[in-house]
Amino acid sequence: MLKKDILRKAMLAERKSRFTNDVKSYRFTSAAVAQNAIELIKDLGARNVMLYMPLPGEADITAVTAMPLNFYIPVTFGAEMRPAVFEPGAPLVRGEFGVLVPAEPVYADKRVIDLVLAPGVAFDRSKNRLGHGKGCYDLFLSGMDCVRAGVAFDWQLTEGFETGPHDIKMDHIITESGYF
């Protein structure tokens, strides 16, 4: 079993270098991930979806916002995350951790969300998620009654890594190859 900190460091280094000089490949692969996210949303019949604004090297699935649904994006305050209504085209600013957030957020009750699309540094076939180590998504998802889907590229799937009692498993993992 891989230690989280060792795997996180290796995967973040890989993510930083993987698409640095190949924007076309990044866009193509992200588009495939987004299409599979759209398929999962349709299959689940989700109406209230929380997605994320990608950091450099994360799969860009913002194409899903073309669907006629209610979308939310996370706004973080330390380890706490709150869902803010996302309107495509509305002004965004850099928030905590450099993530894009609404310039004038309108917060929603997290209980309305029926699907959370969560990025990760790595995932395994048992649907465990390795994040950046701050516990934001674990804290947010704890006790929520929603479908949790991890979003990644195929190369981010690993054989396994250590997990703790506070780690929240995903119900699905979405990559460019599909979802399971």
> What are the phi and psi torsion angles at 135 (to 5°)?
80, 10
Which residues are CB-contacts of 72 (< 8 A; sequence separation ≥ 6)?
A: 48, 49, 50, 51, 83, 84, 85, 86, 108, 113
> What pTM does this model have?
0.95
pLDDT band at 166 (very low <50, low <70, confident <90, very high): very high
Domains of the chain: 4-179 (3.40.50.10420)
115 has pLDDT over 80: yes
Instruction: Kindly give the pairing relationship between strand 129-130 and strand 122-124.
Output: antiparallel
Mean pLDDT of the chain: 96
